[in-house]
Amino acid sequence: MTFKAEYIWIDGTAPTAKLRSKTKIIAGSPAGLDTLPIWGFDGSSTNQAEGHASDCVLKPVFTCPDPVRGGDDVLVLCEVLNTDMSPHPSNTRAALAEVAEQFAAQEPIFGIEQEYTFFKDGHPLGFPKGGFPAPQGGYYCGVGSDEIFGRDIVEAHLENCLKAGLGISGINAEVMPGQWEFQVGPLAPLDVADQLWVARWLLYRTAEDFGVAATLDPKPVKGDWNGAGAHTNFSTKAMRESPGGYDAIITACEALGEGSKPLDHVKNYGSGIDDRLTGLHETAPWDKYSYGVSDRGASVRIPWQVEKDGKGYMEDRRPNANVDPYVVTRLLVDTCCTALEK
Ligand code: ADP
Ligand code: MN
Ligand code: MN
Ligand code: MN
Ligand code: MN
């Protein structure tokens, strides 16, 4: 007996890494992460190595049922190592693992809202050839064939994420036609990031069968059309507890505004951040840090319910759709948990 294992990894494409995958036939039946073999690939084809020393190592870090193939088959998310088993320069997971361990006692968790846009024949799904649809207004959480484009793909993707056992928590149609969102979490830093990468892979793979491409381009249509972000909702144990939760949230919001922190974060929040964070379309300008209750024009929003309850979480609205979840979670844990430790 054999099963198919789809080994998935993050490549070295700049400025935004791409997902790659290939299939390994393994004898027996799947018996958990620790029994999945290490594998390798040609790094010279993925911007991860030179041709003369091209071998890179794939080390399994997360596995789940493969909802596309079904049966015993599995998906295997890997981190990329050098042949001496040290983290490859493109491996952003290793640094998160260290920071997550350092602050594990604060029990940080994340819910990430992944926005994305479907494309077909070079334009967003729902855009007429060579033209534009009616202006934004009715599409967000809309219903009906004049407002909704690609729901069959979105439903298939949701079903695939659930079958895979990912911690997906919702979906919605977005402000621009052909633009959608799914949320993963709340989960611990490594879990949310691993599962978001697998959910992204499943998005591309599901849409492929419909002849449609999904993109995480943060500003897929220039002009008066919303960009695509990855709002990152964050809390620690202290923030979730009353009394004191609200004070902890304010401490974290203030820490994000100190010294060079706003720029340190924003420049690592996905390529093309200044195209999206213009101050229009429910964004704050990329170079001006702010936070506020219910404020969708602030860098960081505290939901109204959180203020009312005096505890809960905060939402960093700055990350682009194409952000690396290993990076945004590392920066938030590092900045906020360091401040909360004091
Ligand atoms: P929005 O109103 O900004 O569109 P969403 O409902 O799309 O919000 O996403 C909110 C995300 O925040 C969800 O993924 C949810 O699971 C997550 N979340 C809820 N509570 C917490 C918490 N205490 N800590 C971190 N994330 C949380
Ligand atoms: Mn080959
Ligand atoms: Mn949302
Ligand atoms: Mn959204
Ligand atoms: Mn949001």
- Which of 22-26, 48-52, 165-169 bottoms out in mean pLDDT, i.e. has the lowest? 48-52
Residue 146, pLDDT above cutoff 90: yes
Query: Would you say the CB of residue 204 lies under 6 angstroms from ligand 1?
Result: no
Entry pTM: 0.98
**Best mutation site among 110, 140, 183 for ligand 1 pocket (most ligand atoms within 8 Å of CB):** 183
Q: Enter the ipTM.
A: 0.98
* Ligand 1 atom at minimal distance to the Cα of residue 317: 3
Predicted confidence band at 186 (pLDDT cuts at 50, 70, 90)? very high
Tens-place pLDDT, residues 234-250: 999 999 999 999 999 99
Alpha carbon of 44 to ligand 5 centroid (Å): 38
Query: Would you say the CB of residue 185 lies under 6 angstroms from ligand 1?
Result: yes
Quick one: which ligand is closest to 41's CA?
Answer: 2
Neighbouring CB atoms inside 10 A of 214's CB total 24
* HEC profile of 239-293: HHCCCCHHHHHHHHHHHCCCCCHHHHHHCCCCCCHHHHCCCCCCCCCCCCCCEEE
Taking alpha carbons only, the member of 89, 117, 144, 313 closest to residue 225 is 117
pLDDT value of residue 130: 86
pLDDT value of residue 57: 97
Query: Would you say the CB of residue 248 lies under 6 angstroms from ligand 1?
Result: no
Check if the beta carbon of residue 255 is closer than 8 Å to that of residue 334.
no
Tens-place pLDDT, residues 68-99: 999 999 999 999 999 999 999 999 999 999 99
Predicted confidence band at 51 (pLDDT cuts at 50, 70, 90)? confident
Q: Which amino acid is at 190?
A: L
Counts of helices then strands in the chain (DSSP H, E): 10, 14
Query: Would you say the CB of residue 30 lies under 6 angstroms from ligand 1?
Result: no
Check if the beta carbon of residue 226 is closer than 8 Å to that of residue 179.
yes
Quick one: which ligand is closest to 233's CA?
Answer: 1
Name residues whose C-beta falls within 8 Å of residue 243's C-beta, 6 or more positions apart in sequence: 310
Query: Would you say the CB of residue 187 lies under 6 angstroms from ligand 1?
Result: no
